[in-house]
Each structure stands twice: as C-alpha cells, then as structure tokens.
C-alpha cells in the first residue's frame, strides 16, 4: 500500500462511472500516486485512531460520527460508490461497497442514551421499524444488483470468482477456481438463485422471531459464501485494503438476531444510570 500500485488500484474505481463520479476519483488517485508513503501513512493513522476512539467509551460517539464521514469519503474516492452506477456491480464483488456497510453499522450500533425496547440490538438506537427498513434496503439492493445484465451474463459470475484466485494461497485459489468452474456458463441461473435468496433474507426480519432467526442465520451463511467468492477480500495476497463485504454482512446480521427476551437488548444505558 506504500507504492504507486495503491494509487493505480484507487484510480481503477473510476472506470465505468459517470464523469461527475470519476473525476474526483482520478484526482485523488493522482494525489496518492505523487505521495504514496505520506498519504497511506495518513490513511492508516486515521483508521487506527477511529478504531481506538470507538473502543474507548468517552470518545465512542465522536469516533463513530467521524467513521461515518470517513466511510462516505472512501466509498466515493476509494470504491467508486461501490461501482453500482457501472451496471456490472455484483454482491460477489463487494457491491454496494464494503465501506458503506461500516457507515450503516455505525448508525445502527450508535450507543443509545436510554434503554429503548427493541427485539434486536440494531433497533436499540434508531428503533426497530427504521432498522428493519435499512435491512430491507440493503439486502433488497443486493438482490437488484445480482440481476443486473452485467452481473448475470453467462460467464460474469464465474469469471469474477475465478479471477479472485490470483495471488491467493493454494487452498483458497483452488476453492475459488472450483467454484468459478462450477458456475461457468450458468451466470443467469446463478444470479436468479442468488437474488431469490437475498430477497428471502431481506424479508426475513419482518417474520416472527423463530423464522427471523432462520433468516438471519441464512444471511450469515450467505455472507460466508460471498466472502469465499471474494477470496477473503484479498487479505492473504498482500494487496487487500480491507476484508471486503462478507464479514461486514455477517456482523450486521448478528445485530439483527432476535433477542431471547424481546424488549430489552442492553443491561443499562451508556451513561451508566
């Protein structure tokens, strides 16, 4: 990440995006390319401080707010808005962008100032109705992305997964290679099946608690499968900037696990009263 290869990777996010989106991406990638060591040191330090701030109770709200601003900036300049405007974005490729899920988690897990009755942790701050709507929007948008023409072309999904094998350890490269071969020429059917599962997950939080747990478990399983298809975010290649969307979708799903005793998800408010 301290080489010009980092700026080239950032610049690639401009490809296929409208000019109004691509222009700032190209400018920021050029800036990073001119000062790769300094810029990446700033990026790494910022993210480290955000993590420490979230972990320390007195600064958790400030750090979460800063993390939302940071996530939005990276979503645009680093991920090209998750490539959702290119027509080829796929859930298997990290769409709608891993970093926007960080922002969503920050909103949903914002420390509540009082004990708000909620059937799951994600509803404690924004309320169960708003939390369910955000879940529906996220997983529903994933279903729509899975049905885009560029994502459901006969070889689109298999080529995407097989391409993740480059630079991976042998066992992971083999897994991605086999999965890609299995889906070869079945992109349309695979996209339809993936979309159907995503729709079931999206609607799952509106079901009774027992069925909702099944939907959340399905979401976690699907997130794990997506992460494998993503080559674990490229973390084992030395060129991955983040773990990708798979683990974040699983963490998000855990925040929607129905409470054993609905109506209380936290033993006490943040201020300790």
Summarize pLDDT for 117-160 with one digit per residue, the tens: 889 999 988 999 999 999 999 999 999 988 887 666 666 677 77
According to the model, what pLDDT value does residue 50 have?
A: 97
What pLDDT does residue 180 have?
74
Over 60: is that where the pLDDT of 265 sits?
A: no
Give the integer Cα–Cα distance in Å for 83 and 200.
Answer: 24
**pLDDT tens digits for range 249-261:** 999 999 999 987 6
- Coil/strand/helix, residue 96: coil
Say if pTM beats, i.e. exceeds, 0.75: yes
Q: Which pLDDT tens digit goes with each residue over 183-224?
A: 777 667 878 888 999 999 999 999 999 999 999 999 999 999
Report the alpha-carbon distance of residue 53 to residue 56 in Å, rounded: 5
Q: Among residues 207, 257, 218, 242, which one has the least CA distance to residue 99?
A: 242
Give residue limits of the domains in the chain: 1-86, 87-273
CA 272 – CA 171 distance, rounded (Å): 48
* 269: Cβ contacts below 8 Å, ≥ 6 apart: 112, 113, 114, 115
Q: Using an 8 Å Cβ cutoff, are 40 and 32 in contact?
A: yes
Distance CA 111, CA 262 (A): 19
């Amino acid at each position: 990440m301290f080489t010009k290869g980092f700026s080239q990777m950032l610049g690639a996010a401009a490809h296929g995006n409208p000019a109004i989106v691509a222009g700032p991406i190209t400018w920021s990638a050029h800036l990073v390319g001119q000062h790769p060591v300094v810029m990446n040191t700033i990026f790494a330090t910022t993210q480290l401080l955000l993590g420490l701030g979230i972990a320390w109770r007195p600064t958790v709200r400030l750090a979460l707010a800063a993390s939302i601003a940071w996530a939005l900036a990276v979503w645009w300049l680093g991920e090209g808005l998750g490539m959702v405007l290119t027509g080829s974005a796929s859930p298997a490729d990290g769409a709608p962008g891993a970093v926007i899920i960080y922002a969503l988690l920050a909103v949903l897990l914002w420390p509540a100032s009082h004990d708000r009755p909620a059937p799951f942790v994600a509803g404690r701050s924004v309320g169960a109705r708003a939390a369910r709507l955000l879940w529906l929007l996220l997983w529903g948008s994933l279903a729509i992305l899975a049905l885009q023409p560029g994502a459901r072309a006969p070889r689109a999904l298999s080529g995407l997964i097989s391409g993740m094998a480059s630079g991976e350890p042998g066992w992971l490269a083999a897994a991605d290679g086999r999965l890609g071969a299995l889906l070869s020429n079945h992109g349309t059917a695979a996209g339809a099946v993936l979309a159907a599962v995503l729709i079931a997950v999206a609607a799952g939080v509106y079901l009774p608690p027992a069925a909702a747990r099944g939907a959340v478990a399905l979401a976690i399983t699907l997130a794990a499968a997506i992460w494998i298809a993503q080559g674990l975010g490229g973390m084992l290649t030395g060129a991955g900037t983040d773990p990708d969307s798979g683990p974040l979708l699983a963490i998000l799903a855990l925040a929607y696990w129905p409470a054993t005793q609905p109506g209380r998800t936290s033993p006490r408010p943040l201020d300790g009263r």
